[in-house]
A = this chain, B = another copy of it.
Amino acid sequence: MSLYAIDRDTGITLYAQIAEVLERDYVRQGAAGDRLPAEGELAARFAVNRHTLRRAVDELIAEGLLERRHGVGIFITDLLLDYRVGSNTRFTQTLADIGISTDTRVIRKMITPAPAGVARNLALTADEPVLWLETLRLADGLPFCVISHFLPVKPFGELLDGYAGGSLHDYLEKNHGALHRTESLVTAVLPQGDDAKLLGITQNRPVLRVKSLNVLDRDNSPVEYAITRFRADRIQLRITP
């Protein structure tokens, strides 16, 4: 029944301050499914109008932390799904690649043991080293997609030094021959890891994830396994028969 300290002179909006307190004192303390006090009561505790409190709750709903049930109350959502999505390899697949002509920023380049899914797709034995390339692509100067590229170290380790941006596929074709894509798997997920920040979207905006495998035309040997996360508000896959 205590009155929370909301400072009206910090330059930070009331609803933002309230959202933070709600997250700290309710979402983090409570368990999934717990009900928050009624809007009216919370508004009284924070000494703000109910509209302002609702605006604060809107923020947390947008982040996926709370949900409203009309006539019932405000509840803490079940966040387990988020983590299951992130760690469940079955659902952590969708990758792909697009070779659009945009700016490319290399986020990370490293050699790492191949994760199981990567090894399977690249026809490697597990833990065989792969080149892991993380790139951010911009279209019209705006973030467009983040791509995790995995390439076998054996023929492509040179990329670690040679490649610095631009069209990765052009680079590969110039040095290794023509490529073709075998198959793409598409689904939609919420951004994981740093993807939201890199793409310039909030955690609750969906991304389109495409998993794809590129192989060499001449002998079908795997060249690149890629997981692409597109900003859903900037992508529309067009599929023509």
Point out residues on A near B: beta carbons under 8 Å: 61-64, 67, 77-78, 80-89, 91-94, 98, 100, 139-140, 142, 144, 180-190, 202-208, 232-241
Main secondary structure of the interface of A (DSSP, over half): mixed
> Given that A181-B241, A184-B238 are contacting pairs, would A233 and B64 also be in contact in the complex, using a CB cutoff of 8 Å?
yes
Q: How far is the CA of A62 from the CA of B187 in the complex (A)?
A: 20
**CA A238 to CA B190, docked complex, whole Å:** 19
Which residues of chain B are within 8 angstroms of A92 by Cβ–Cβ distance?
239, 241
Instruction: State the Cβ distance, A223 to closest chain B Cβ, in Å.
Output: 15
Question: With contacts A83-B237, A87-B241, A187-B237 known, what are 12 further pairs, Cβ within 8 A?
Answer: A61-B204, A67-B204, A80-B235, A85-B237, A87-B240, A92-B239, A181-B241, A183-B240, A184-B238, A185-B236, A189-B206, A206-B232
